[in-house]
Chains A and B, each alone.
Chain A
Amino acid sequence: MAEFAYVGRSVPKVDARAKVLGKTKFVSEEGIGFPGMLYGKVLFSPHAHARIVKIDTSKAAAVRGVRAVLTGKDVPETRVGMLIDDRHILCREIVRFVGDPVACVAAESEDAAAEAVRLIEVEYEILPAIFDAEAAMAPDCPVVIHPDLPAYNRPLYAYMGKDLPGPNVHTHHKVRKGDVDRAFAEADFIVENRYECDRITHCQMEPYNSVCYPQTDGTATVWTSARLHETHDPLLQAFGLNPSQLRTRTSYQGGMFGMIGRPERFTLLLAQKTGRPVKMVYTREENFIEGLNRLAEIVYVKDGLKKDGTIVAREIKGIVNTGAYTHHGPLVIRNGAFHASQYRLPNYRWDAYGIYTNTPACGPLRGFGSAEVIWATEQHMDLDARAVGMDPIEFRLLNTPDAGERDVRGTLVTCIGAKRCLKIVSDRIEWGEPSDQPAESHIKVGKGIALANKYSMADTASSVILDMKPDGVLEISHGGDDCGQGLNTVLTQIAAEQFSVPMEMVRIVWGDSWRSPYDFGTASSRSTLYIGNALIKACDDAKRQIRELAAKKLGMDDGDIEVGKGGFWLRDNPEKVFPMSFLSLANHPEARGTVKGATCLEESAGIRGTGVFWGHPGAEDPETGQGERLAISYSYGAQAAEVAVDTETGVVKILRLYSAFDTGKTMHPTMCEAQHEGGMVQGIGSALYEGFIFDEAGVLMNPNLHDYKVCSTGDVPSGDDLWVALVEDPHPEGPYGAKGTGESAMCPTASAVANAIYNAVGVRLTQLPMTPERVLAALKEQRGDSRTDAAT
């Protein structure tokens, strides 16, 4: 393999120095001390389902310093959404969950805004509410959350709005392959079980925040701490603006994990109404309630197996509680089916249903559908292995496809490092050797493994502009996001590699909807693959232009010119590098004194290369879910966990967690390893600690970092016990063979832990998070001799 100077090396992270100095300007720093700044605050519904009878804002408006108090009558009448337009910016008539925004305020100080929100008087007529997805799904459910659903606009994937079994069901996604019923009838074993995961949230450390500056020409600039593209487009839709009327900007984000902009619709609304800049920073509690959290899901899995260990059929029914509004929900539901490409499944039936309930709205979170379903299927694989009497690893290896096969959906498997990854983690955890048991007899130690994949959608595109400055500096403009994962570093590596220049010669400009070229944004583990490819195309384009201009000027052929090292040279004389300024107007033979400083070229403002990379998606058959090219890449990998279960307290401790994932090509080994370590720890959080707790009225009981527990240093293995291997099975379409990897590390963790718990104490936990209470309950049930393991 070719040796690279920058690509594949752990070069310095371009943003790290400013960050350790505390000098990076995050969006939360935007507008501090800006003259005339107003502060926004939202009034959230205290009821899970109610009709707004009357709102009296007079007392609130009278608070000193209050400049606007807005309610549902002040917002556009049209509903907005991503896949289903089902929501107003502020509730107009009905509130549908505790936390649904009812009014918003702008005031001269945060204190005045908070006081005004307290003084808004709302009279509600309480309506019956429903929280349980399976109950809400019933055809005769007495509570109907969106009676107008059949009339709602569905701008994307509208075919998922057919065959809906009940009035609260908004989505039905199907995949069909083969003859599942016949395969079940012919199977030697049938294994069935039910799994569930509670709702979790991103807990990015920078709280959701936004500033909006109205401009004198009627446009507005809105800053978001979330993704550029996924904030900008919904705002255009919600406010009926065209792209030149709204300028959306962002900076380095303080964490992302899939989160989508939230307060921007309020800062924009308030700025429009007041003509003043408005800043909003959500409290942590507001982050929990208003953030579009990971949806809660119930997954029923049924597998049919042959005695030899082959899976002959799999049926999955997913019941997905997306809360009161859909946002990305239907897409998350659909994408849950991508998990299936992990195994060879000759007969497959998938039905996933999205259900409205009177709980907070959900959206995308790292893993986007995959993590939730894999939580179920990777435990189920252990049940299957037991049923056929095979080792869980042998069983997985037997059923894992190879490159060149078609996956369940009909997409060609191009590169798949799954088997290698399984071997790496199983060797390292000494699979087959029993765990050492501590002297305390109430502590039991066990091992578990899980395999996972994470797709990257084919239905997206990226574009990049590369300007080569007269001093040879390369300026990359992209429309993605650097939320700490290191995108700007990776793009700097690629450009430096392409032009053989030091990384200091590369500058990145991003995060501005008026300046940055189009991008789908940082999501779906796609940035390196898509933006990296677009950048390489832009580099090629710039090089071509330079070759043409230089050849013309020197009277040579394009093919005689090589580009790089901050300039170009003649193929047969690589020693003499011409600087870029050689091409500038200032160096034109006819140039006289006054254009001496002219850095433009003779016929253009400068060298500008552009590149676009589009995934060329194949169509999905609405009835069968089949499609030639639905995902552009899959990152495959495995994790192995060793856990200690305290049978007296139910506390589970992760002793070791090993991960191996196939990156295609690791662009930056240390950053990639670090990102995987972060994903594994987020996975541990989702496995053991994180989950929303609601009371019977639908009030979230733990909307803070004290009662909703994010892993701290005390909860995780470290050093060699939190270990990552990166396997390279080059992707044919990836830049340097790379494919996405951002989300994958979180996907197998919970199942690996659950399988290890089973190995330690013989109980199967089927609901996330696996809290001490749930572990103890399972152990108690076991003592009552009624095991929860459906395969036994």
Chain B
Amino acid sequence: MRRPIELSVNGVTEEVYVEPWWTLARVLRDELGLTGTKVSCETGDCGACTVNIDGRAVRSCIYPVMKAVGKKIVTIEGLSGEDDSLHPLQQAFLDHFAVQCGYCTPGMVMSANALLQENPHPTEAEIKEGLKGNLCRCTGYNKIIQAVAAAASASAPNKEN
């Protein structure tokens, strides 16, 4: 039986009817239409579905939705500002060509966001450690690591060269 729950997503309280065994990813995508959160493996192995819960990076594909009640969920949609102004991490991903197909990108950005909240000035090794759970098949990671480092030092280069 579906039951009503309240979720705090991107600063808004949403009422949704869910089956108690549903994952957070399923509710975000199918019930709330927040499809920026991607699902790729559904076994917790790739990080595509990463969102932030109370500031920590969480894999929403294996996170029971009932556990998320009463917590603050932030998805990729909640990171940008008014009129789609980009969060510094999103801007850095753009500037550094850290996006190819972009399917890993939302999860990657949310993992990086949690990392920088915990450690605002990580070393390259710490960035690599922090993003270890997020797979990207396209980029080889170099540009992603550079983007996160740039966002951390808040000195992103010019868009064009």
Contact = CB atoms under 8 A, between A and B. Distances in A.
B8 interface: no
Given A704-B41, A722-B140, A205 B76 contact: no
B49 to A, nearest CB: 11
A20 B93 contact: yes
Interface residues of A, number: 61
23 contacts: A10-B161, A11-B160, A12-B159, A17-B86, A19-B102, A20-B105, A21-B84, A22-B105, A24-B102, A29-B35, A284-B41, A484-B138, A670-B97, A674-B138, A674-B143, A678-B139, A705-B45, A713-B144, A713-B145, A716-B140, A716-B141, A718-B141, A719-B146
B90 A255 contact: no
Interface stretch (A93-101, A242-250, A596-604, A679-687): A679-687
A708 to B, nearest CB: 9
A526 to B, nearest CB: 18
Contact of A32 (B29, B129, B133): B29
A26 interface: yes
B94 A682 contact: no
Interface string B108-137: 010000000000000010011101111111
B55 interface: no
A51 interface: no
A23 interface: yes
Contacts of A704: 41, 43, 45
A22 B159 contact: no
A21 B160 CA distance: 20
A17 B104 contact: no
Interface of B: 29-30, 33, 35-43, 45-46, 48, 75-77, 80, 84, 86, 90-91, 93-94, 97, 99-106, 109, 124, 127-129, 131-146, 159-161
Given A483-B101, A713-B145, A678 B76 contact: no
A576 interface: no
Contact of A21 (B38, B80, B132): B80
B40 A207 contact: yes
A706 interface: yes
A681 B106 CA distance: 21
A484 B100 contact: yes
A705 B135 contact: yes
Contacts, number: 194
Contacts of A484: 99-103, 138
B55 to A, nearest CB: 19
A773 B46 CA distance: 25
A32 B33 contact: yes
Contact of B100 (A11, A22, A678, A713): A678
Contacts of A23: 36, 84
Interface string A191-208: 000000000001111110
Nearest to B93: A20
Contacts of B38: 26, 28, 205-206, 254
Interface string A459-502: 00000000000000000000000011110000000000000000
Contacts of B48: 205
Contact of A674 (B36, B90, B97): B97
B42 A671 contact: no
Given A252-B101, A674-B97, A675-B100, A714 B139 contact: no
Given A9-B160, A257-B137, 12 more contacts: A16-B97, A21-B84, A22-B37, A26-B38, A33-B30, A484-B100, A678-B138, A682-B137, A712-B134, A713-B128, A718-B142, A722-B140
A20 B148 CA distance: 13
Interface of A: 9-13, 15-17, 19-26, 28-29, 32-33, 202-207, 252-257, 281, 283-284, 483-486, 670-671, 674-675, 677-682, 704-706, 710-714, 716, 718-719, 722
A7 to B, nearest CB: 14
B65 to A, nearest CB: 15
B77 A22 contact: yes
A15 B127 CA distance: 25
B35 A32 contact: yes
Question: Max chain B CB contacts within 10 Å: which of A10, A203, A255?
Answer: A255
B132 A15 contact: no
Nearest to B127: A713
A333 B42 CA distance: 34
B91 to A, nearest CB: 8
B1 to A, nearest CB: 14
Nearest to A23: B36
A203 B161 CA distance: 32
Contacts of A11: 160
A170 to B, nearest CB: 30
A342 B37 CA distance: 44
B148 to A, nearest CB: 10
A719 B127 CA distance: 12
B104 A205 contact: yes
Given A20-B90, A33-B30, A205 B97 contact: no
A26 B104 CA distance: 12
A671 B97 contact: yes
A674 B134 contact: no
A678 B98 CA distance: 11
Nearest to B30: A32
Contact of B40 (A33, A284, A713, A718): A284
Contacts of B91: 20
A13 B86 CA distance: 15
B101 A253 contact: yes
Nearest to A723: B142
B103 A206 contact: yes
Sorted nearest first, the 4 A-B pairs with minimum C-beta distance are: A22-B36, A484-B101, A19-B102, A254-B103
B43 A712 contact: no
Contacts of A674: 97, 100, 138-140, 142-143
A714 B159 CA distance: 28
Contacts of B143: 670, 674, 677
